[in-house]
Amino acid sequence: MVPPTLSRRAVLTAATAAGIAAATSACDRLAGSGAAAVPPAQPDPLEPLLAAELGLVAGYEAAIARFPGLAGKLGPIRDEHRKHAQAIRATLDPRRQTAAPGDAKPAAAAGASAEAATAALAAEERAAAGRAAQACVTAGPERAALLASISASEAVHAVVLG
C-alpha cells in the first residue's frame, strides 16, 4: 500500500482572504478624549474575488509547468482569469488594494496526472463561478454586469475542462 500523500495539499488559500473580516473594534470612549471616532474601513467585497482570480492564474501556471502538454488548452483560460483580475482591480479603490500577483497561491493543487490537474481546475472554476454569482446578486448596478460575465466565464471554463 502506498501511504497517503495528500496531507499537505494546498487548500484554497485564496479563500482565506474572504475570511479576513475587518475586526476593528471601536475603542471605548476615552475619558477626556474629544477626538471623533474614525470609522473602520470596510473591506471591499471584491477583494476576495480578486485574490481568487489571482489564485486561479497561479493554479493554471502550476498545472502548465507540471504538464506542459496542457498549455494549449489551459493557457487561454489562464489569460481570461488575468483579464478578470484586471477588470476587478479597476473597480477597486486603489488606496485599499492589498492583493498583488506575487501574493497569489495556486487555488488548486497541480494533481498527480494531467487529468487530475484538469479536474481540480474544473472544480475550482465551478466554485469561483458560484462566488462571483453570489457577489453579483448583492453588488450595485455599476459592478453587477462585470460580475455576471465573470461568473458565466468561469462556468464555461468548468464545462470546457469537463
Identify which of residues 79 and 115 has a Cβ nearer to another protein in the complex.
79
Around Cβ 52, how many Cβ atoms within 10 Å?
29
Total Cβ atoms within 10 A of residue 74:
22
Q: Which of 39, 8, 10 has its CA nearest to residue 22? A: 39
Least distance between another protein and beta carbon 146 (Å)? 8
* CA-wise closest residue to 85 among 15, 12, 146: 146
123 or 133: whose CB is closer to another protein?
133
Looking at residues 53 to 72 of the shown chain, list those that interact with another protein (rule: CB under 8 A).
none
Find the binding residues for another protein in span 5-44 (CB under 8 A): none
78 binds another protein (CB under 8 A): no
Least distance CB 153 / another protein (angstroms): 6
Residue closer to another protein by CB (options 10, 148) is: 148
**Rounded least distance, CB 141 to another protein, Å:** 4
**Which one of the spans 23-31, 59-67, 100-108, 143-151 is the region binding another protein (CB under 8 A)?**
143-151
Least gap, CB of 85 to another protein (angstroms): 10
Dihedral angle computed from the Cα positions of residues 141, 145, 146 and 151, in that order, rounded to the nearest 10 degrees: 120
Cβ(85)–Cβ(50) below 8 Å = yes
Neighbouring CB atoms inside 10 A of 26's CB total 9
**Among residue numbers 114 through 133, which ones bind another protein (CB under 8 A)?**
129, 133
Candidates 24, 83, 98, 100: give the one binding another protein (CB under 8 A): 83
**CA 104 to each of CA 55, 56, 99, 130, 136: distance values in angstroms, whole numbers, following the listed order:** 5, 8, 8, 20, 23
